[in-house]
Structure 1
């Protein structure tokens, strides 16, 4: 069996994040949300074009915390997409500013980056 590395994101409002990722990035829910007794979402799985990630509300008591706006992020999510310009247009229409691009960056292809409303940093690549 091959190893697999899947990002597990923690956000302050998982329900709002699910809606944003579905509406803006075109994500699909591939494993239904699990609601904890206290109302927080303990787990959900999403995917864009087969690129999958897991997500939950934050659980500070378990050291699973959402990004904070006052510091940089140690991880960037790299997502290969068929239409970087189209996805960037949806991101901007959803009220999010782009940090970079979309622009041509040989030999990588067409690239862009942004920080979503939940503090996660995304790098888009259209080879």
Structure 2
């Protein structure tokens, strides 16, 4: 069995946990492991089976959040039941909408946003079969 789980660095894991819970509907599955200096070394959240890990920055070992001066090297792709509803929810939470929801056959209904922590997300809602 293989599994690929993104491990995000965010400027503030505690704030990111709250934001992902409130605006993406995620749940905290592994509570923060707090290092001696107070930084979060590890935590995990999930939304309907989609899971990602997070930590605060650790410059001393090369772990850094996205840099606004560059493009994102990775985009997170999340399949959801209603792209429009979730897109409005994340926008109300301060996300920057890069692409409004639109049907893109055969892929699905898509929207793209940047969360307040600098990560780029694709929301995808499968389209009904045309038969």
TM-score > 0.5 by shorter chain: yes
Q: What is the count of residue pairs matched by the alignment?
A: 126
Q: TM-score, normalized by length of structure 1?
A: 0.97
Which ranges of structure 2 fall in alignment gaps of 5 or more residues?
127-131
Which ranges of structure 1 fall in alignment gaps of 5 or more residues?
none
Q: Which residue of 1 aligns with 2:12?
A: 13
Q: Which residue of 1 aligns with 2:124?
A: 125
Q: Which residue of 1 aligns with 2:73?
A: 74
| SS of equivalent residue, structure 2 residue 118 | coil
Matches within 5 A, 1:1-127: 2-127=1-126
TM superposition outliers: structure 1 runs of 4+ over 6 Å: none
Measure how far apart 1:94 and its partner are: 1.1
Choose 59-68 or 92-101, whichever is displaced more.
Answer: 92-101
Query: What is the distance in 1 between the residues matched to 2:112 and 2:26?
Result: 17
Q: TM-score, normalized by length of structure 2?
A: 0.94
- Residues 29-72 of structure 1: CA deviation (Å, up to 9, x unaligned): 11111111000000000011110000000101111110111110
Note the aligned Cα RMSD (angstroms). Answer: 0.7
